[in-house]
Structure 1
Amino acid sequence: MNTHYKQSAISIALALAFTATAVAQETDEAKKEDVKYFEQIVVTGSPGGATQQETSVSVSSFNQEDIFKLAPRSTAEVYRALPGIRAESSGGGGNANITIRGIPLATGGSKFLQIHEDGLPVLEYGDINFGNADNFLRYDWSVGLVEAVRGGSASTFASNSPGGIINMISNTGESGGGAIGTSFGVDYDEFRLDFSYGGEINNDLYFHVGGFARGGEGTRETGFNGDQGGQVKLNITQILDNGFIRFHFKHLDDKVTTYLPAPVRVKSNGDFGPVENFDASSQTLHSAYTTNVSTFDSFGNPRNRDVTDGIHSLVTSIGFEANVEVAENLTFVNKFRTSDISGSFISPFTDTFGDYGPQSASSMANNICNSALDGDGNAFNCASTNVTLANGPNAGSAYNGLTFLNLQFDTEIKDLGNLINDLNLTKEFDNGFSVTAGYYYSMQDIASSWNSWNTFIQTVDGDNSQYLNITDADGETLVDDGLWAPSFLSWEWDLRYQTTAPYLNVGYEMGDNWLFDASIRRDTVQANGELINSCCGGNTDFDLNGDGVISGNSEDASASNGFGFGGGVINLNRAGAVSQIVDYEVSNTSYSFGGSYLLDDSKTIFARYSKGSRAIADRLLQIAGTLNSDGSLTNTTSGFDETKQLEIGFKYATSDLRIYTTLFDTVTEDTQAELTSGLTFIREYEATGLEVEGSYELGSGFSLLGNFTWTDAEISNDAFNPALVGKTPRRQADLIYTITPQYQDDDMLLGAALQGSSEYFVGDSNQLKQDGYTIVNLFATYYVSESFSVSLNVNNLTDEFVITESEEASASAGDIIRARPLNGRTTSVSFKYMFD
């Protein structure tokens, strides 16, 4: 640890010691009966049988009531309230970026953090291109508990989860009863129905079914119903004399509009806002006038695509869980799930291609004209240009407002299905020892087609963007019906990753106060498949829409754009494509050891050191020099990235007061490829921090709960760009927090969830930043009767304009950048009826 980190660690350790001393002085409080947080058994990513208070890992959980208070508009907004979790929910109902405790968020998805449903991963890899794990699950009333383990034994109790695990644990119906509810967007267009019901079928058989259905535009104005679909989940549990067997079923068919970087105005360094006629926090560049796209698939076959599909998630999964004592003090646990996962991803992305960023129509037209050549290789007459609206109610009218280049991200998710099984045997001995031996198996497919991404020139308009026509001084067409180039790239992915992992945990309970455990896991990954890169070949025009005329969106435009990468895709075929074979096997060992000491019933100290690994999946194929032509790995990469983490913590819990604090120090390797910028990097990051979570019952119905995480992080090594060493990683704030004051009595619940962050840089060069902010979410429920309630939720009450990421790392006041902001203010009203 360098001097800077030693000083930080000393400061945090002193703060931690002060907190522990202050809490320990409350001797009267320590005698009170323990609350539910003390008694709850941890079931996620840790040795079984220990409570939250006893275990030597940092763990938190939210139930349905906790989650309601957050006024979440997506699953990611549930996650971002968990201690230590950084969840960027600016993408809408999916496509969130999620990480934990200073571990980098260099690109998209959740690379170092596994997202589980009922103890098994939704996807083996959380950062698959266009296949983020949160795309394929939804929070609804079928979920009884959201549990998060940060660091620690997550490294050895699950594959590819060195940072931690967030586990969505289903209701199982033991308590019986149900609920049905509807909610409406007050200032946005959405209707949603939620339902939940469970109970006993007979004395040893019970069930639970739950889910949702919804429809509407969503939280931002799109011009069409982009959020539409639903989910149903069912489980049945058979109680046995020596344990239980549980069967799971899930079907998700849901479409959500995803929001990609769009034009945003720089008001000053750290302060951002809308551009003219477009507010990226409440509007999108989607449009009722641009919903259908004629394009080609990755092999050059013509096809039509519906932009309203957005992220279309199709999941059908079946699984079972057995937990039985097969002999005295010998427990067998097996969890199995097979999932059929497919769908699509399509959304407009604001690109630049050098000189073509958001700008006035005249400037865009001049730039295009000066760079273009006609079919004979001759320059156009750029003495003047003419720009008109190509569609919509004012088609043909001149236009000189703001324009953007729409690179239509268009991917068909053919198969992200998986088959996963995790089994283990645990033997408990009379002398305090316990041994768990297990074997994990998963088969993860990654099959997707990156269709011939069209590029269009369109208006920047939050009220239905329109295509543009552009001609030169002689009336020669430069852009017809918005189409600038019909083929930016065409990739076909067909990969399979098999993971096997034997693991072993040894625990020891010494007396009534000491608990120790040590675990080890050996992951072996077999990777096979192929990436076919058939980008931008061919020069034959094609009548895509079948109207008998080759023009506009029905031609390949290769003869008229002259930009080198435009071109048609008619001649694309398997024989002429560039292929990268994938054929390798790699292994890595993870380990974790820690212990806890119960000072008394209310106070615990713990420490843990872990080394975990994350296999590099599809993104490895985008990094030059990592694979040989035969598919084997070069010496550039081991095929794994590793995270090492030291934790020291203190836990205090009584019936009125709960404080959990953890000091952590983390070193992370990251091998990454960023699609939008084309950057690739192999880096190491260091982070030291303090995580605090707590709650306090003030009495008379008032209570306060919350958490904060302070992190001091830096890039400690960069193989490709040493100039970045010592910089703060992009989007890494020093402080993130959630504070929830509330009041509750028999008739009502009132409160606020304050979620905020200190300032952070949006690029690794540490030039452009987002100022610190606080998002205020309000919640209120009136209990009309014991069974019926009415609720009001307001998310982002003060309508803060906050960007989570930017394609530009530097900018000046007045510039337009491409960024993703959080949602502006949204308000919903809901009605809930509960029954036995």
Structure 2
Amino acid sequence: MKAEDFQADCKRVGGFKPSSIALAIAVASSVSAAVTAQEQLEIEEVIITATARPVTKMESSISVSALDTEELSNYAPRSTAEVFRSLPGIRAESSGGGGNANITVRGIPLATGGSKYMQIHEDGLPVLEYGDVNFGNTDNFIRADSSLSRIESVRGGSASTFASNSPGGVINMISKTGEEEGGNIGLSFGADYDETRLNFGYGHHLSDTLRFYVGGFLREGEGVRETGFDGDSGGQLKANLTKDFDNGYVRLYYKHLDDRVTTYLPGPVTYKGNGEFGTVANFDASSQTLHSDNYRNISTFDAYGNPVNRDLSDGIESLVEAYGFESQFEFENGWTITDKFRISDISGSFISPFTDTFGNYGPQSAQSMADLICANAVSGEGSAVDCSTGTTVTYANGGEVDELAYLNLLFDTEIHDLGLIVNDFKVDKLINDNIVVSAGFYYSKQNIKTSWNSWNALIQSVDGSDSQNLSITANANGDLLVDDGLWSASFLSYAWDLEYETYAPYMNVSFDVGDFTFDVSARHDMVNAKGSLVSSCCGGDTDYDINGDGIISDVEDASASDAFGFTGGIITMANGNTQLVDYDADNTSFSLGGNYAINDSMAVFARYSEGGRAIADRLLQISGALNSDGSLSDTTDGFDSVDQLEIGYKFTAGDFDIFATYFNTITEETNAEITSGLTFVREYEAQGIELEGSYIYGDFSVNGNLTWTDAEISKDANNPSVVGNTPRRQADIIYTITPQYNFGNSLTFGASLQGSTEYYVSDSNQLKQDGYVLVNLFGSYYVTEDLTVSFNVNNLTDEFVVTEVEESYAEAGDVVRGRAISGRSTSVSFNYAF
């Protein structure tokens, strides 16, 4: 895009003008007409998202918003999830780095992780059918790059019937398809952190009816936090080819993702009191991690007891090979047929240090950690260890330790297969120019084949990217309690091998009566689940020199007791416990909405919806949910439900837009949390108001959104004491405000203010994070028509904010385990358009 064109568009749409960017996205094949990029600017008030036919924003009874590629850099994102948190109503906790984010919408809870109730799509089809797979969050397998045209979100109950397993809404990442010829090549690098990234893209018309687009990125570096190694490494290539016909089009799609990012799990932080958290000695959880080049090479066992060597720098490894097909044709008498198909081969791994406590073993001085371990230790023969003369703790390579020590429970999971096959077929019929009847059939097959390697329990120093393994010896008889960091060779081991098939017929009827627009839709999801989970822990039949020192110590001896009194280091799969999975579940969703256009600039709408979300692999962690033969027990029907009422008001007047939506939501939750071992069988209630708007005055524009939520836990089968409390991490208000000023045609400068009021970090409502504002700066200078220099600053004021804390209570001065938003980081970019 040329500089003058971009400036003109900024003046026209204000950078982020909700009424002008509610454009076409294909949410579960709900698209009923192809719209080119040029046409979008001409009919920018027309939307075809989660509707049976194109209608204007003022005529629709849904909530939809979007970000285009020019806007993405305004939010100084360091991950795709950091882009999502700029969308109205979306709560995206991006403290995990380039993946492993927690995402939800409009007061729907985040009991654990992932995006359980909100689907993430690419070009109208889900990336994964289930967004909260253990260690397989959907955002692990998506990247925002030059191939992206825009990101759009549909929030609320209408998504329940236009996509499976999405009762809260859909975020859709839409690719460029070559309508606009030309391309770009860009180079960006961290000014105060180590990462270099190359972005590229190119679209071209091979003929009047044939066009293509190819784009992607390559990157290498340490990332925004100090790790001591290049943990962010890899890239993506996306391509599509479109053949246009007089009455439709056919498109082929390809995606290759091979990327690694460091993921940040909870680490030691200090609770200062009054909702404020901060650093501990030698460690800043917002700019450092407990990853270290000192112990990158990890030896462990897979779920079958076989030795495995792992590399800590792999972090979240994402491997995707996807092929897709899309077609849409219009026929005489008002018929339109749309079909979308994709097959994705998805695999990877997840490895990262987690700060555990095992009760009393939280972060503490190295000597007190050593004494505590000794006091509770058993010898190789199973008898108590003599600690009468104390203990000695040293670095594994020698030297006394005067730092905090922590228990690193090394999360180590290999993702063998998260492959997804999905197809969505839909037929629309236009009747008398005011009635549209739509019917479709959706099918998907989601594999979940992962193995949790034996999670080593390591004792290490708390020292940012220079953390080291510690050795601990009981002085009385010289028992080696911790051998080169290794306290226990195994904690647990799982092997998941599951397959979920979804069949979903759906139907929608929409019609106009004067200034009224109505629609009613229904969807019936049928899920067939098969497979098994084999779990094993803490026993075995093989000696293994895990640390490679040539000596089999007690913690490596299969015939000896480990730190927990179990014999051996790992159990073979033959001795594990097997839970079969073999059940069918179904759910019917419906949505009813209506809109009244008061005049050309004002409208009101209302919608009521009941939607469902199938419970996938986490159901196996709920005690008693499945019978021994794999069938569902009487305690669950295999689905969680979300009921929503929405009432909205829309107003647009030239350079000013405002949209307000009241929502009332009741959510069922059946879930399990790995880190605490807790299970949740609950109901939540929430109500609130979502606002979004924009204003343009000459070269100045401001846009923003704010969501107020009043939420509570209304039922809890396992812990009635939390009933009436505010759900964890649910703030009363979250908001994003983005002012921007264009200095002629050569310079753009602005800021993004992303804030939250205080919130409780646990359901007990005893410990809270104070409110905060993150300030992000952005600016672009157009050296020539084609060459642009840009910068952005993320978290300018270097705020220390935790999104989650493992502990539910703490006194001022206590060390707890929290996951912090990354501190200040600055990037500089050069982009050449051609």
SS class of match (1:709): strand
Maintained 8 Å contact 2:111/2:728:
yes
> Is the CA contact 2:441–2:503 (under 8 Å) kept in the aligned structure 1?
yes
Question: 2:536 aligned with 1:534, yes or no?
Answer: yes
Aligned residue runs from structure 1 range 62-461, under 5 A: 62-391=67-396, 395-430=397-432, 432-461=434-463
> Residue type matched to 2:90 in 1?
I
For 1:177, the aligned partner's letter is: G
1:519 aligns with 2:521: yes
How much does 1:660 deviate?
A: 1.0
SS at match of 2:695: strand
SS of structure 2 residue aligned to 1:561: coil
User: Post-superposition shift, 1:400?
Assistant: 2.8
Equivalent-residue separation in structure 2 for 1:756 and 1:281 (angstroms): 17
Deviation at 1:120, TM superposition (A): 0.4
Distance across 2 between alignment mates of 1:669 and 1:566:
41
Q: 2:503 aligns with which of 485, 500, 503?
A: 500
Q: 1:51 aligns with which of 53, 56, 62?
A: 56
SS in 1 for 2:400: coil
1:636-785 aligned at under 5 Å gives the runs: 636-699=635-698, 701-744=699-742, 745-785=744-784
Alignment partners' CA distance in 1, 2:103 and 2:378:
44
The alpha-carbon deviation at position 540 of structure 1 amounts to 4.1
Equivalent position SS for 2:47: coil
- The normalised TM-score by structure 1 is 0.93
Q: Secondary structure at the match of 2:295?
A: coil
CA distance in 1, matches of 2:224, 2:383: 47
| Matched residue, 2:47 | 42
Q: Conserved in 2, the CA contact under 8 Å of 1:44 and 1:148? A: no
Distance 1:566 1:43 in 2: 62
How many angstroms does 1:679 deviate by?
Answer: 0.2
State the Cα distance separating 1:549 from its structure 2 match: 3.3
Give, in whole Å, the separation in 2 of the partners of 1:397 and 1:648. 66
| Cα displacement (A) at 1:122 | 0.4
* Matched residue SS, 1:738: strand
SS of the residue corresponding to residue 466 of structure 2 reads coil
Write the letter of the residue equivalent to 1:736: I
Alpha-carbon distance change, 822 to 556 in structure 1, aligned in 2, over 3 angstroms? farther
In 1, the alpha carbon distance for the partners of 2:455 and 2:84 equals 32
Give me the identity figure in percent. 62
Structure 1 residues 497-506 or 532-541, which shifts more?
Answer: 532-541
Structure 2 letter corresponding to 1:83? P
Say which SS state the counterpart of residue 328 (structure 1) adopts: helix
1:716 and 1:206 mapped to 2: Cα distance? 54
1:484 to 484, 487, 491: 487
Whether the aligned pair in 1 keeps the contact of 2:748 and 2:779 (CA below 8 Å) is yes
For 1:350 and 1:468, locate their aligned partners in 2 and report how far apart those are by CA, in whole Å: 15
Structure 1 runs not aligned, ≥5 long: 1-31
Distance 2:573 2:81 in 1: 40
- CA pair 361-66 structure 1, distance change in 2 beyond 3 A: same
Which amino acid in the other structure matches residue 166 of structure 1?
I
One-letter code aligned to 2:537: C
Indicate how the Cα distance of structure 1 residues 565 and 223 shifts in structure 2: closer, same or farther if over 3 A, else same: farther
Q: In the superposition, relative to structure 1, how do residues 464 and 552 fare at CA in structure 2: closer, same or farther (>3 Å)? A: farther
CA drift of 1:73 comes to: 0.2
Q: Is the 8 A contact 2:18 2:66 kept in 1?
A: no
TM-score w.r.t. the length of structure 2 is 0.94
Would the alpha carbon gap of residues 713 and 676 (structure 1) be closer, same or farther in structure 2, given more than 3 Å must change?
A: same
The count of residues paired between Structure 1 and Structure 2 equals 796
Structure 1 pair 254–552 and aligned structure 2 pair: CA distance change class (3 A): farther
Name the structure 1 match of 2:597. 598
Superposed CA offset, 1:620-669 (max 9, x none): 00000100000000010110000000001011224311111101000000
Q: 1:808 to 1:147 in 2, by over 3 A?
A: same
Cα deviation for residue 712 of structure 1 reads: 0.3
C-alpha distance in 2 between matches for 1:97 and 1:160: 16
1:313 CA displacement: 0.1
Q: Deviations over 1:384-435 (max 9, x none)?
A: 44444444xxx21011310000000000000000100001000000152110
Q: 1:157 to 1:280 in 2, by over 3 A?
A: same
Q: Is the 8 A contact 2:225 2:289 kept in 1?
A: yes
Which SS does the other structure have where 1:801 is aligned? Answer: coil
Query: Cα–Cα, structure 1 residues 256 and 43, in superposed 2: closer, same or farther, change >3 Å?
Result: farther
Equivalence for 2:628: 629
Match of 2:37 in 1: none
Superimposed CA distance per residue, residues 7-59 of structure 1 (whole angstroms, 9 cap, x where no aligned partner): xxxxxxxxxxxxxxxxxxxxxxxxx9984558344344343312333211011
1:494-545 C-alpha deviation (Å, 9 max, x unpaired):
000000000000010223x221100000000000000011222225422357
Q: Deviations over 1:360-390 (max 9, x none)?
A: 0111001100001112233222134444444
SS at match of 2:464: coil
8 A contact 2:222–2:229 mirrored in 1:
yes
Per-residue CA deviation, residues 275-309 of structure 1 (Å, 9 max, x unaligned), is 00000000000000110111000000011011100
* Cα 1:587–1:35 shift into 2, 3 Å: closer
1:163-189 deviation digits (Å, cap 9, x = unpaired): 000000111110111111011101111
Instruction: Assess if the C-alpha contact under 8 Å between 1:389 and 1:397 holds in 2.
Output: yes
Task: Please list the CA deviations of residues 783-815 of structure 1 after superposition, one character each: whole Å capped at 9, or x if unmatched.
Answer: 111111111100000000000001011111000
What SS does the aligned partner of 1:155 have? helix
Residue of structure 2 equivalent to 1:563: 564
Quote the Cα distance in structure 1 between the aligned partners of 2:789 and 2:433. 54
Q: Which amino acid aligns with 1:672?
A: N
Rounded to whole Å, the distance in 2 between the matches of 1:546 and 1:370 is 27
Give the superposed CA RMSD: 1.6
Query: How many Å separate the matches in 2 of 1:267 and 1:324?
Result: 62
Structure 2: runs of 5+ lacking an equivalent = 1-16, 23-42
* Offset of residue 723 of structure 1: 1.1
- The offset of 1:78, in angstroms, is 0.3
Contact 2:520 2:590 in 1 (8 A): yes
Supply the AA of the counterpart residue of 1:478. L
Given that 1:487 and 1:536 are in contact with CA atoms closer than 8 Å, whether structure 2 keeps it comes out as yes
Task: Report the secondary structure of 1:782's partner residue.
Answer: strand
